[in-house]
């Protein structure tokens, strides 16, 4: 059983952290499973992507859907059954998690959708297709899928998982990310409720264990990775967590790695600003998303 996790990124230097997390978690549960990853870009010729997937001939193809690739993924879903009629197509990612039924109605060739965070769901799907997991899809939580009679069915969203259970994805193959941005996650969810943002739907903010995080930061520093981008939605929403990480990279800096964080500027307090002031210039980069400067807009979109 060959399972391919495919991602279509916006640029070559980007990578898709989600598919690496899914594979790492599933391989921990099922070490013998044949799970591969292929990354493409939206700028690549469409036929080239199609040809590559065709050559791999996966039994199950899982496509990661984001705002920047959902059009290209939609085109792929329509073409793949013409050249790989027996391949089961599954989708996942924020762009299909909250309108899963509509997506399956639009793309009758897709088998199903993994909704919400995918590690546990994907691991169970792998076991299902390998014939040693759930006997039926209806027993797997967090999916919307096509039943035998082609009716669309959905199972409940699954409980959020402990983020520390996701294995570190870069340990074995950091060389594969040469000249690309390393994405890294120490929290999931966002405490805010901006009305247009998918990250505001999941109200379950959680953090990766700090001792694990420190070991992983040291790995990046030791391997002289040029840049690590944290994908945490609002990195500084928990003061102790942010301070521990900034202090760690300050004390262990070797003058090479740059760390990028998305922060809420209004949450930065004096202690944090003082620490940031003391860092080597270039050690960190802050990305600050201003939702609006119009008070009425801010009120309407639920920005605190």
Contact residues for ligand SF4 (CB under 6 A)? 190, 192, 194, 197, 199-200, 233-234, 289
**Residue 71: how many other CB atoms lie within 10 Å:** 11
Q: Assess contact for 183 and 231: CB atoms under 8 A.
A: yes
In the complex, least distance from residue 17 CB atom to ligand SF4, rounded to whole angstroms: 16
The smaller minimum CB distance to ligand SF4, of residues 164 and 199, is found at 199
In the complex, least distance from residue 199 CB atom to ligand SF4, rounded to whole angstroms: 4
Spatial CA neighbour of 76 closest among 52, 100, 105, 102: 52
Q: How, if at all, do strands 152-154 and 143-146 pair? A: antiparallel
The smaller minimum CB distance to ligand SF4, of residues 54 and 192, is found at 192
The smaller minimum CB distance to ligand SF4, of residues 49 and 237, is found at 237
In the complex, least distance from residue 231 CB atom to ligand SF4, rounded to whole angstroms: 10
SS (H, E, C) 26-58: HHHHCCCCEEEEEEEECCCCHHHHHHHHHHHCC
Backbone angles phi, psi at 31, to 5 degrees: -60, -30
Tokens linked to 277? 């002031």
The smaller minimum CB distance to ligand SF4, of residues 146 and 233, is found at 233
Q: Assess contact for 220 and 228: CB atoms under 8 A.
A: yes
The smaller minimum CB distance to ligand SF4, of residues 147 and 266, is found at 266
In the complex, least distance from residue 66 CB atom to ligand SF4, rounded to whole angstroms: 14
In the complex, least distance from residue 62 CB atom to ligand SF4, rounded to whole angstroms: 25
The smaller minimum CB distance to ligand SF4, of residues 33 and 199, is found at 199
Count, residues in the chain: 304
Backbone angles phi, psi at 205, to 5 degrees: -75, 130
**Residue 12: how many other CB atoms lie within 10 Å:** 13
In the complex, least distance from residue 192 CB atom to ligand SF4, rounded to whole angstroms: 4
């Amino acid at each position: 059983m060959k399972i391919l996790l495919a991602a279509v990124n916006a640029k070559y230097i980007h990578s898709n952290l989600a598919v690496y997390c899914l594979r790492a978690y599933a391989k921990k549960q099922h070490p013998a499973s044949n799970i591969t990853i292929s990354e493409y870009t939206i700028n690549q010729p469409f036929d080239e992507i199609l040809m590559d997937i065709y050559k791999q001939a996966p039994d199950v193809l899982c496509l990661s859907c984001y705002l920047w690739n959902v059009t290209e993924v939609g085109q792929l879903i329509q073409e793949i059954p013409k050249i790989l009629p027996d391949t089961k197509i599954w989708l996942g990612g924020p762009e299909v998690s909250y309108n899963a039924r509509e997506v399956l109605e639009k793309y009758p060739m897709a088998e199903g959708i993994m909704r919400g965070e995918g590690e546990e769901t994907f691991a169970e799907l792998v076991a299902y297709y390998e014939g040693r997991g759930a006997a039926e899809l209806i027993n797997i939580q967090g999916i919307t899928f096509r039943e035998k009679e082609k009716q669309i069915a959905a199972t409940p969203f699954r409980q959020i998982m402990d983020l520390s259970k996701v294995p570190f994805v870069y340990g074995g193959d950091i060389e594969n990310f040469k000249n690309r941005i390393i994405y890294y996650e120490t929290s999931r969810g966002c405490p805010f409720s901006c009305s247009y943002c998918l990250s505001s739907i999941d109200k379950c903010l959680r953090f990766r264990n700090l001792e694990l995080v420190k070991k992983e930061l040291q790995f990046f520093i030791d391997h002289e990775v040029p840049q690590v981008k944290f994908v945490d939605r609002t990195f500084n929403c928990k003061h102790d967590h942010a301070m521990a990480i900034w202090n760690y990279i300050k004390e262990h800096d070797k003058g090479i790695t740059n760390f990028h964080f998305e922060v809420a500027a209004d949450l930065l307090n004096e202690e944090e600003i003082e620490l940031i002031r003391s860092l080597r210039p270039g050690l960190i980069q802050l990305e600050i998303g201003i939702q609006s400067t119009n008070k009425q807009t801010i009120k309407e979109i639920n920005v605190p």
